[in-house]
Amino acid sequence: MRCHVATSCHVVWLFVLISGCWGQVNRLPFFTNHFFDTYLLISEDTPVGSSVTQLLARDMDNDPLVFGVSGEEASRFFAVEPDTGVVWLRQPLDRETKSEFTVEFSVSDHQGVITRKVNIQVGDVNDNAPTFHNQPYSVRILENTPVGTPIFIVNATDPDLGAGGSVLYSFQPPSQFFAIDSARGIVTVIRELDYETTQAYQLTVNATDQDKTRPLSMLANLAIIITDVQDMDPIFINLPYSTNIYEHSPPPWWRLGFPLTRAWGLRRLRRLRRLRRLRWLRRLRRLRRLRRLRRLRRLRRLRRLRRLRRLRRLRRLRQLRRLRRLRRLRRLRRLRPLRRLRRLRRLRRLRRLRRLRRRLRRLRPLRRLRRLRRLRRLRRLRRLRRLRRLRPLRRLRRLRRLRRLRRLRRLRPLRRLRRLRRLRRLRRLRRLRRLRRLRPLRRLRRLRRLRRLRRTSSLTPDAWSLGRVSPGKSGPLLSGKVLDNYWRGKS
């Protein structure tokens, strides 16, 4: 309370003056916020333009109050709404650059002004990713570096507080040959290296902070260059952080050398140097021999490969030739039956043709016949046509003539026969009439005469045969007709 009075003593003085003039005592307002006694915590990720807090004050006279902020830096970051006392953030806060402010706020009832300072603490948020130092990272190591030797330290820091500021390291992706200590960032060899297979490694180190909700991480490249043991030079000394690395690893042999030479003299040094030179030379010779051997081996391999290739080519050529021969043979084989077939077909065709010719020869007379028949038919038809064309009378006449002729031809023998028959009949009738006309006596006489004659005269054999008369008998009479004929023949 004393402090309060002391800070605002000039205000009190003014107040006494004014109250003396009006004869009435004005009581000044006072802040009621508790953070004036302790501190106000504002998170560093509070967005610009948002309200941070509200100033509260009381005035016993119930005068209208006006709030404000004083100080150049404070008014860059904070603005106070005069009527309500709401405090706005005007600029982004960053705990990592300024973690606390002392801000003076004021309240006035138009008669007097009260100011009060507040301690503003900026609250930490994990808003920074770890940062690597002393980049780029590259290190040369010997091919025969033993397993477990630390070779490098990476260093990344995170300005955030707490877990958000503690960094863990890892290789991403993990390496088969190197490991990194997750807390200290010490890189060690975990597998024997071989310059012949790999001359350099490119690793990616991931540094991530330990924030539970939103861990932030950063990547850095680490180049590890492997040097051949024979090409050894004291590059190892220039390693960054070499003091740290060799804390736990045995010191290299050449470091031991210097104190010994100082103690034992120059000769030893020279001897050592000679020895070293000799060793170098020997190593070089060995290496040269090895290299020559390798070259020779490579050459031999190449020659073998070339020979093999030539052989392969030759073999391929031979195989190709064999294949071609085989193909030709196969084609020929395939062709042989074809040729046979063709020959057979030709022969068959020829046979067919011959058969056809024979048939044709056989058929020719038949054809002639047919032609003849056709011709005859045609002639008949022509005749008929001619006839048809002729007048019907002529036709008739001709037909009649023809018929008559035919009839005559047919009738001639018949008529002759009939005439003969008629004649015969007439003759018979005439004879009969003559006989009837004769007197029965004459008949008798004649008969008797005849009988006498027959008995007496020798009869001609004809008469005997005709009269069926046996010679010794005076048999039955011959029929008149026969006799008639007989006599007619004699006369």
Ligand X SMILES: *[C@@H]1O[C@H](CO)[C@@H](O)[C@H](O)[C@H]1NC(C)=O
Residue whose CB is less far from ligand X, 70 or 206: 206
- Minimum Å gap between C-beta 217 and ligand X is 4
Residue whose CB is less far from ligand X, 108 or 175: 175
**x/- contact string, 156-195, with ligand X (CB under 6 A)?**
-x------------x-x-----------------------
- Minimum Å gap between C-beta 137 and ligand X is 13
| Residue 155 in contact with ligand X, rule: CB under 6 A | yes
Strands (E), 44-173: 51-54, 57-58, 66-70, 78-80, 86-89, 100-108, 113-123, 131-132, 137-142, 150-153, 156-157, 167-171
Residue whose CB is less far from ligand X, 103 or 220: 220
| Residue 217 in contact with ligand X, rule: CB under 6 A | yes
Is there a contact between 157 and 130 (Cβ–Cβ < 8 Å)?
yes
Residue whose CB is less far from ligand X, 126 or 208: 208
| Residue 219 in contact with ligand X, rule: CB under 6 A | yes
Which member of 126, 188, 208, 227 binds ligand X (CB under 6 A)? 208
- Minimum Å gap between C-beta 163 and ligand X is 14
As beta bridge partners, residue 320 has none
- Minimum Å gap between C-beta 215 and ligand X is 6
Residue whose CB is less far from ligand X, 53 or 208: 208
| Residue 133 in contact with ligand X, rule: CB under 6 A | yes
- In sequence order, what are the residues at sequence separation of 6 or more whose Cβ sits closer than 8 angstroms to the Cβ of residue 269? 261
The residue type of 427 is: R
Residue whose CB is less far from ligand X, 121 or 170: 170
Q: What is the DSSP string of 229-275?
A: STT--GGGGG-TTHHHHTTSSPPPHHHHHHHHHHHH-HHHHHHHHHH
Burial classification of residue 39, based on how many CB atoms lie within 10 Å of its CB (0-12 exposed, 13-18 middle, 19 or more buried): middle
Tokens of 118: 């507040």
| Residue 347 in contact with ligand X, rule: CB under 6 A | no
Distance between CA atoms of 467 and 252, rounded to whole angstroms?
Answer: 193
Distance between CA atoms of 188 and 180, rounded to whole angstroms?
Answer: 6
Number of residues that bind ligand X (CB under 6 A): 9
- Minimum Å gap between C-beta 170 and ligand X is 6
For tokens 């043709």, name the residue: 353
- Minimum Å gap between C-beta 206 and ligand X is 4
Residue whose CB is less far from ligand X, 136 or 259: 136
For tokens 């005035």, name the residue: 59
- Minimum Å gap between C-beta 96 and ligand X is 14
| Residue 149 in contact with ligand X, rule: CB under 6 A | no
Residue whose CB is less far from ligand X, 99 or 217: 217
Which member of 206, 210, 249, 261 binds ligand X (CB under 6 A)? 206
The CB density around residue 411, as the number of other CB atoms within 10 Å, is 12
Which one-letter DSSP state was computed for residue 160?
S
- Minimum Å gap between C-beta 172 and ligand X is 6
Distance between CA atoms of 79 and 99, rounded to whole angstroms?
Answer: 19
Residue whose CB is less far from ligand X, 246 or 486: 246
Interface of this chain with ligand X, residues 427 to 486, rule: CB under 6 A: none
- Minimum Å gap between C-beta 219 and ligand X is 5
- Minimum Å gap between C-beta 134 and ligand X is 8
Distance between CA atoms of 269 and 277, rounded to whole angstroms?
Answer: 12
Tokens of 271: 């001897």
Residue whose CB is less far from ligand X, 214 or 370: 214
Which one-letter DSSP state was computed for residue 197?
T
| Residue 128 in contact with ligand X, rule: CB under 6 A | no
Q: What is the DSSP string of 386-426?
A: HHHHS-HHHHHHHHHHHHHHHHHHHHHHHHHHHHHHHHHHH
- Residues forming the site for ligand X (CB under 6 A): 133, 155, 157, 170, 172, 206, 208, 217, 219
